[in-house]
Amino acid sequence: MKLQYIILFLVIISAVYVGLNISYQPVNLFESDEEEDSFQQEVPQQAETTSPIDPHYVMDYLDSIGFVVSPVFDGATTDIYTAKYTIPDSYVQVQVDVYFERSSQQVLLIESNVDASWYSTETNQQYFEEYVNETALSLFSSFVTIPYKGSNPDMAREWVESNILTSYSTALPGKTSTIIGPATINLFGSPLLRTLEIDFGF
């Protein structure tokens, strides 16, 4: 059965439509050249300065494009802002978590996950692994361009594109990391679960 769907996702500032196909057919993420060009644009800056990142701005925008925003979790020192999006006609979930330290009024960590682990019992695991590769590449290469003081969107995008296929493992994975400005950017995961972290000292 062929399942066609559209995912509304460009984390933080701009929304694009990404056509994904969960079937035993080649994955085609873009329905037109214009759509692909739109998706490859960097994440625009917030209205004010790029630092500090405003978690309310992030959540408000994700809410506006269809994510379900959870109540803020009040930790001992850190507030956790969470938004989730389940891709229609699938069991694939995208989740964004923003960790905000109250004492410094700074975002310490932004984490994004693509979770397709529901498909772990499917027979054609190679297909779903490749599907998650394509999904994580498209989402993370845009997500990592979020602006902050000292950021380098082009360098960040290129780094994700160069490392997305080698930054996960069927064994207990380590993190593939780089430093851009004040942020340590991490990629890690398993074939059906991928994570991107932008770490400001969490």
User: Which domain covers residue 63, as residue numbers?
Assistant: 3-199
**Residue 158 confidence (pLDDT):** 98
**Residue 166 confidence (pLDDT):** 94
Q: Which residues contact 120 (CB under 8 A, 6 or more apart)?
A: 192
Domain count, the chain: 1
**Residue 22 confidence (pLDDT):** 39
Q: pTM for this one?
A: 0.76
**Residue 57 confidence (pLDDT):** 83
Looking up tokens 């772990």 gives 120
Pairwise CA distance, residues 44 & 146, whole Å: 7
Low-confidence ranges of the chain (pLDDT < 70): 1-52, 173
Pairwise CA distance, residues 15 & 62, whole Å: 9
3-state helix, strand, coil in the chain (%, to 5): 25, 30, 45
**Residue 89 confidence (pLDDT):** 84
